[in-house]
Amino acid sequence: MLKKLFKYLLYIVLAFFVLSIASVVLYRWVKPPITPLMISRKIEREAKINYRWIDISKMPQSAINCAVAAEDNNFLSHSGIDFGAIEKAIDEQEKTGRVRGASTISQQTAKNVFLWQGRTWIRKGLEVYFTYLIEFFWSKERIMEVYLNVIEMGEGVYGIEAAAQHYFNKSAAKLSPYQSALIVAAFPSPLKRNPAKPSAYLSRRANTILSLSQKIGTIKFDEKSIQKAKERYEKRKKK
């Protein structure tokens, strides 16, 4: 019985690795048809799924810049996990008691596309696993493209194109930089915040993100830009 049980467990583990790698490789070129979050929201809240995929070439540059400024300053330079950001978050929590997230855009993408919501150690471990998988098989540009297409941006609203249509009645390509910043500012609590009717806090947050994005500059995905970002990151780590 023990031999049979071990054999079955081995098959399950092997099947998991094969299927997980195959799905990551497939999504390198194919858009995810649906995500676990979309399914769970549909069941829990009976929300319609407003999901409209667009190529990254049709996304406003301001949305990409604001996403990096707000969610992951070191997106171009890390390998999936930003250990420097994690250390800062831990230090801040110890000093102030404030809990600050340190998940990278790569981690958020892995979680949104392949996993369920929750804070268990098993899910967190799988998040790290899928994060390194997408960093290995996908380009940074592809990670950003998937991220801005699947992230939850409102009640049943997923992706920058659906958000632009839902909140501002226009295509994502026509969003102003401030409108992009408002949508990104709502990311942490998309079911509670409305970019079309921003609170005073959301407006301040959007202005802060917009200002920071201008300091960071235009995010480009060519090899030269990524290499420069990595070099700057390494210099900061040594200081």
Q: What is the mean pLDDT of the chain?
A: 90
Query: How, if at all, do strands 152-154 and 50-51 pair?
Result: unpaired
pLDDT digits (tens, 9 = 90+) for 189-228: 898 999 999 999 999 999 999 999 999 999 999 999 999 9
Q: In what order do the strands lie in the sheet with 152-154?
A: 50-51, 157-158, 152-154
Are 195 and 202 in contact by the 8 Å Cβ rule? The answer is yes
Determine the Cα–Cα distance for residues 8 and 14; give it in Å rounded to an integer: 10
Domain boundaries, the chain: 28-238
pLDDT tens by residue, 146-191: 999 999 999 999 999 999 999 999 999 999 999 999 999 998 889 8
| Nearest Cα residue to 131 out of 192, 228, 123 | 123
Provide the strand spans (E) within 122-237.
152-154, 157-158
Residues 6+ apart with CB under 8 A from 225: 76, 219
Cβ pair 57, 171 in contact under 8 A: no
Report the alpha-carbon distance of residue 10 to residue 15 in Å, rounded: 8
Residues facing residue 154 across a β-bridge: 157
User: One-letter amino acid identity for 62?
Assistant: S
pLDDT above 70 for 93: no
Question: Tokens 């194109």 identify what position?
Answer: 161
Give buried/exposed letters for 110-140 (b at 16+ CB in 10 A, else e): bbbbbbeeeeeeeeeebbeebbbbbbeebeb
Choosing among 1.10.3810.10, 1.10.10.10, 3.40.50.300, 3.30.390.50, the CATH entry for 28-238 is: 1.10.3810.10
pLDDT of residue 7: 84
% of the chain exceeding 70 in pLDDT: 92
What pLDDT score does 32 carry?
Answer: 95
**Contact by Cβ (8 Å): 142, 28:** yes
Determine the number of helices (DSSP H) and then strands (DSSP E) in the chain: 11, 3
Contact at 8 Å (CB) between 106 and 134?
A: yes
pLDDT band at 120 (very low <50, low <70, confident <90, very high): confident
Distance CA 86, CA 81 (A): 9
